[in-house]
Amino acid sequence: MQTIVRRTIKTIRREMASLENVILVIDGKTGSGKSTLAEKIAALFDADIIHMDDFFLPDRLRSKTRMEEPGGNIHYERFKTDVIEHLDEDVIAYRPFDCRDQTYGDFVYVKNKGVLIVEGSYALHPFFGDYADVSVFLDMDDDLQRRRILYRNGEEGAGMFFEKWIGLENRYFNHFRIKEKSDLTFTIER
């Protein structure tokens, strides 16, 4: 992870030479370390993080047609209106969605203090346009992903990832060529 952090920092600093604010977007496979990378970068730059998990699609909007769309299980319309349309503002406010109980939480306020990080699968969905100043894709082989998900979620909690979410995620990555379009791509090996 140290090499990934160093290369990402170097790229951010290069962008900071010409931009007042840098938006770092981290996409990639479930369990690849997106949140960990975001936290490390945030600590170094005193940056706020927007989590794509806060924008999953509510069950009431999950029509058959919508779920057949590559990347359709993210509430991309809400992310665009709540976040993308406010990136030039000092503070962005949105309500995180909790998919366990299907409710919206209290407002989260993130500040654009020079570096702003968006992390999570679907963060580079083309519906958002080209908003990333630096984009990172974290990849890993399927066996390592399986082991990490089992470790993190346990056998019972991992089932839904294996049965549903990983397939949807991979369809999004492949259809929109997310890995190929990212500025930096790293393969996690352990």
pLDDT digits (tens, 9 = 90+) for 4-22: 999 999 999 999 989 889 9
Task: Give the SS3 label for residue 108.
Answer: strand
Structure tokens at 20: 């007042």
pLDDT digits (tens, 9 = 90+) for 29-40: 999 999 999 999
pLDDT digits (tens, 9 = 90+) for 120-136: 999 999 999 999 999 99
pLDDT digits (tens, 9 = 90+) for 57-112: 999 999 999 999 999 999 999 999 999 999 999 999 999 999 889 999 999 999 98
User: What is residue 59's predicted lDDT score, i.e. its pLDDT?
Assistant: 94
pLDDT digits (tens, 9 = 90+) for 136-165: 999 999 999 888 888 888 887 777 778 878
CATH code of the domain made up of 2-187: 3.40.50.300
Q: What angle do CA 190, 133, 75 make, to 5 degrees?
A: 75
**No. of helices (H) and no. of strands (E), the chain:** 7, 9
State the pTM of this model: 0.93
User: What is residue 155's predicted lDDT score, i.e. its pLDDT?
Assistant: 82
Rg, Å, the chain Cα set: 16
A 10 A CB-CB count for 93 gives 12
DSSP tag of 114: S
For the chain, the structural domain boundaries read: 2-187
User: What is residue 20's predicted lDDT score, i.e. its pLDDT?
Assistant: 86
Q: Looking at 16-56, which runs of residues are DSSP E strands?
A: 22-28, 48-51
Residue 181 has pLDDT above 90, yes or no: yes
User: What is residue 159's predicted lDDT score, i.e. its pLDDT?
Assistant: 74
Residue 55 has pLDDT above 80, yes or no: yes
DSSP labels, 121-141: TTTT-GGG-S--SEEEEEE--
- How far apart are alpha carbons 166 and 169 in whole angstroms? 5
User: What is residue 2's predicted lDDT score, i.e. its pLDDT?
Assistant: 85
What is the sign, positive or negative, of the torsion defined by CA atoms of 163, 165, 171, 173?
negative
Helix H or strand E encompassing 119: strand 115-119
